[in-house]
Amino acid sequence: MSSFLIVTWDGAGNLVSTLGIARRLVEAGHEVRLLGHASIDQRCGREGWTFRPFATAPEYDAVHPGDPAEEMPFLIENVFFSADVARDTATEFHRAPADVLLVDALLPSALCAAEALPVPTAALFHSPYCLLRGGPLLDLVSTAFPMANAIRAGLGLDAIEGIPQLHDRCDLALVASPREFEAPGEPAPNVRFVGPILDGPPLTRAVATSSSDDGPDPLVVVSFSTSQMGQGPVLQRILDALGQLPARVLVTAGPAVEPNGLRAAANTEVVGYLPHAAVLPAASVVVTHAGLGTVMAALAHGVPLVCMPMGRDQFFNAGRVAELGAGRVLPLDAEESVIADTVVSVLTDPALHEGAKRMAIAIAGYRGSADAVAALELLAPSAD
């Protein structure tokens, strides 16, 4: 048995792969600790791991993030490039050393601390690998990289040029998406694509159930962010658009949106958080913000998508869905008639269904959390 310390943060969607790996490590007989925001423990609970809240880093809850205009500046200063997160990582390791450290790839602060510790370290990518090698998402977070070099100076480490160097210095970079979903380009030698992790635990203890029947009409699943992104108005517009279609519509509102606050037509059921595996086997199309978790789950089941990206990595994900011939992309402000027409066109387009099935075959070739755990076990000193 080896001991693993996982350093993460409450980014909602990032926890799909993080908790999936944590649970698989526990099932393999290892000792697992999660260090992160207390909201993770409060919302998700534990499945065999020990939870340690950050001791000095400010609390953050993705379901209740506060003012949207202040969210990214807060994350940059108090999560991604936080000296407190770096300090809490080092303190927790010295309190109880681990054999292996697994750090969220969006935590340069913790990766700097890990580099100064005597422990093998892996970075976990819960978004496509290429997004943290170049492009607008990397540019957005890299504006604050001098803060990381300040942390490094305090740890006696050399200054570096950017986030990719941090990932390249890790013993392992685990990517929880398929290589086929990446943009062109060669990954660094330490990269291991394990594919999407689809067998993780629920992201909330409050798991809903659906009373939707298996009638003759196609099932349209509407699934937007687990975190709060101000998605309420767009969800209502989608419901209004789909309410007159000859289809069964199931909306999984997640923990951030109150289901009773949405107006639904007779053909529509609105529930809270419902695991993808409970509904996607019967779905004919998924309408989504194009978060990676929803996109991967839909494609793994061979279901085409209508993507309406809101931010973060979602524009890239939506673009790749279209490029792979597995769905279509709409702007967030698309009118009801456009939404309804697009959903109908995807439902009736055999080429898009075939594109989604091709991705399902590709995804089935990966082993997700099982491959991640096997790679992490090789880092443990006892594996030498």
Task: Look up the CATH number of the domain holding residue 44.
Answer: 3.40.50.2000
Same domain, 53 and 191: yes
Q: Tell me if 299 sits within 8 A of 359, measured CB to CB.
A: yes
Structural domain contains residue 214: no
Task: Please write the tens of the pLDDT for every residue from 205-214.
Answer: 666 667 666 7
Task: Report the run of H or E that residue 222 belongs to, with start and end.
Answer: strand 219-223
SS3 content of the chain, % helix, strand, coil (to 5): 45, 15, 40
What is the rounded distance in angstroms from the CA atom of residue 175 to the CA atom of residue 125?
5
pLDDT at 70: 84
Specify the pairing of strand 285-288 against strand 268-271. Answer: unpaired
Task: From residue 212, give the alpha-carbon distance in Å to each of 220, 268, 362.
Answer: 11, 9, 30
Structural domain contains residue 97: yes
Structural domain contains residue 266: yes
Q: Is the sign of the CA dihedral 109, 111, 116, 118 positive or negative?
A: positive
Beta bridge mates, 175: 125, 193
Task: Please write the tens of the pLDDT for every residue from 191-206.
Answer: 999 999 998 887 776 6
Same domain, 325 and 232: yes
Q: Tokens at residue 221, please? A: 């699943």
Question: Which residue type, as a one-letter code, is found at position 307?
Answer: C
Structural domain contains residue 206: no
Q: What is the mean pLDDT of each run of 10 residues along the chain (384 residues)?
A: 96 90 97 97 94 96 79 92 97 97 97 97 95 88 92 96 95 96 93 93 72 81 72 85 92 74 86 83 93 93 95 90 97 93 96 97 96 96 63
Structural domain contains residue 205: no
Sheet containing 172-175: which strands, arranged edge to edge? 50-53, 31-36, 3-7, 100-104, 121-125, 172-175, 191-193
What is the rounded distance in angstroms from the CA atom of residue 194 to the CA atom of residue 204?
24
Same domain, 170 and 29: yes
CA nearest to 224, candidates 293, 178, 302, 280: 293
Q: Tell me if 88 sits within 8 A of 135, measured CB to CB.
A: no
Q: Using H for helix, E for strand and C for coil, what is the string for 310-348?
A: CCCCHHHHHHHHHHCCCEEECCCCCCHHHHHHHHHHHHC
Same domain, 237 and 356: yes
Same domain, 370 and 317: no
Task: Report the run of H or E that residue 41 belongs to, with start and end.
Answer: helix 38-44
In eight-state DSSP terms, residue 171 is S
What is the rounded distance in angstroms from the CA atom of residue 332 to the CA atom of residue 339?
10
Same domain, 27 and 176: yes
Number of domains in the chain: 2
Same domain, 378 and 327: no
348 CA to centre of own chain: 30
Q: Tell me if 157 sits within 8 A of 166, measured CB to CB.
A: no
Specify the pairing of strand 248-252 against strand 305-307. Answer: unpaired
Structural domain contains residue 210: no
Same domain, 119 and 231: no
Q: Tokens at residue 178, please? A: 């398929």
pLDDT at 263: 85
Helices 292-300 & 350-364 angle (0-180, nearest 10): 100
Structural domain contains residue 7: yes
Same domain, 52 and 175: yes
pLDDT at 256: 67
Residue ranges making up the domain that contains 168: 3-195+366-383
Same domain, 144 and 256: no
Structural domain contains residue 238: yes
Same domain, 373 and 354: no
pLDDT at 253: 76
Q: Output the CA angle 328-279-244, nearest 5 degrees.
A: 60
Q: Tell me if 62 sits within 8 A of 227, measured CB to CB.
A: yes
Same domain, 169 and 136: yes
